[in-house]
Chain A
C-alpha cells in the first residue's frame, strides 16, 4: 500500500523569506501523480501544484516550486517570497495512475508566516 509522510508538523518562516516543506512517499508503482494542497483555516482545500511522475522537470507555479526526486521518493515544496496569505496547512498527496479516483494524503504541515 502507498503511504505519504510529512515529517514536519509545523514550520515557520519570516515574511518574504523562502521555506521548504518536506514530503516522502512509498510506492512500488512507476506511474503516479503527486500534489501539494493548501488548507487555510476554516476554508477549503486548494491545489497548489502537481507533478506527473513521468516528467523529469520539476513543476513550478509562480512562487511555488517542487523538488521531485523520483528515486528517493521525495517531493518537497518550496515557497519563495513568503506572504501572510500563505499561512495554512499544507498537505502532500499521492495518486496512482491506475487507481486514479483516490488521493493518499500526508498528515500535513502547518505553515506559520511571521510578519
Chain B
C-alpha cells in the first residue's frame, strides 16, 4: 500500500466551473476525511465518512460542495460553480477504527491544490 493518494495534485479552473477531486485511502482504513487548507493556515475540517456513510459535515461545506464515498473505498469531493474563495489545498486523510495505538491516527495524502481564476 502506497498510502493515501489524491488526484489531481493541481487544478486550475475558471470561476463558475465544476471541479472534482479524488482520494484513494489506505485500503484497510474505514474512515476517510476531507480538510481544506488555505495559505498560512492550518487545515479546516470539511467532512468525514465511516465506510460509505457520510457521518459529519462542517458548516464550511456549502451547498456547492458534495462528497461521496461509494462502496466505502475511494472518495470524491466535487465543487460546483467554483468561486475564487474556493482556492485552497484540499487534503484527504484516512484512519482505521479500533483501540490499538495506531487507531484513529490520520494518514494524509499530499493534497489537491485548487486555483480558481
Do A and B actually bind?
yes
User: Which residues on A are within 8 Å of B, measured CB to CB?
Assistant: 4, 37, 42-47, 50, 91, 93, 100-108
State whether the Cβ of B105 lies closer than 8 Å to any Cβ in chain A: yes
Whether A44 contacts B110 in the complex (CB less than 8 A), given A101-B48, A106-B42, A108-B42, comes out as: yes
State whether the Cβ of B4 lies closer than 8 Å to any Cβ in chain A: yes
State whether the Cβ of B33 lies closer than 8 Å to any Cβ in chain A: yes
Q: A39: shortest Cβ distance to chain B, in Å?
A: 9
User: Which residues on B are within 8 Å of A, measured CB to CB?
Assistant: 3-4, 31, 33, 35, 40-45, 48, 55-56, 91, 93, 104-111
Residues of A within 8 A of B35 (CB): 103
Q: A114: shortest Cβ distance to chain B, in Å?
A: 22
Task: Judge whether A43 and B42 touch: CB under 8 Å.
Answer: no
Measured in the bound complex, the distance between the Cα atoms of B42 and A108 in whole Å is 6
29 contacts between A and B (CB under 8 A): A4-B42, A37-B108, A43-B110, A44-B3, A44-B91, A44-B108, A44-B110, A44-B111, A45-B43, A45-B108, A46-B108, A47-B107, A100-B104, A101-B31, A101-B45, A101-B48, A101-B55, A102-B45, A102-B48, A102-B56, A103-B35, A104-B45, A105-B42, A105-B43, A106-B42, A107-B40, A107-B41, A107-B42, A108-B40
User: Which of B4, B33, B41 is A44 in contact with, Cβ under 8 Å?
Assistant: B4
Residues of B within 8 A of A104 (CB): 45
Task: Judge whether A50 and B110 touch: CB under 8 Å.
Answer: no
Measured in the bound complex, the distance between the Cα atoms of B33 and A11 in whole Å is 30
Residues of B within 8 A of A4 (CB): 42
Q: B108: shortest Cβ distance to chain A, in Å?
A: 4
Task: Judge whether A93 and B42 touch: CB under 8 Å.
Answer: yes
